[in-house]
Amino acid sequence: MGAMPKEWNDKKPVESYETTFLSTGFSRYNTTKKTLSHFLRETDGRLTYTESLCEATVFPRVYASEFTRVTIYSLTPRVWKEEVGMEEVHFFIQHPRQVAST
């Protein structure tokens, strides 16, 4: 999460769309893509992101909603930007989870 790295400034987006994110407490629901995503801060400071399909459900509580423009720059690794309003922009690069083998 953070500012857009220079190497992505001139990249043509793969996809761009507008959605509303519904904050449900520990997750958020993308009303356009019908996905539920989770951000988790690890003890070492890393931010873990997961996303899964969630076609139809009823949420017992929605704490907030945010109208957001999502721009996807790459599918592998997943690189995207979320613009919330005119001045709030979040940029993400998702690195694959590495599992140690023994």
Distances in Å between the Cα of 5 and the Cα atoms of 40, 84, 92, 97 are 22, 18, 10, 21
3-state helix, strand, coil in the chain (%, to 5): 5, 50, 45
How many degrees, rounded to 5, is the angle at CA 17 between CA 11 and CA 21? Answer: 120
What token pair was written down for 60?
Answer: 């017992």
What would the pLDDT profile of 4-57 be if each residue is shown by its tens digit? 778 877 889 999 999 999 998 889 999 999 999 998 888 988 888 888 999 877
With a cut of 90, say whether residue 73 has pLDDT above it. Answer: yes
Which residue shows structure tokens 């720059």?
73
Look at residue 97 in the predicted model and tell me its pLDDT. Answer: 65
Q: What is the DSSP string of 69-81?
A: EEEEEEETTEEEE
Question: Which amino acid, one-letter code, is at 102?
Answer: T
Q: Mean pLDDT across the stretch 71-88?
A: 89
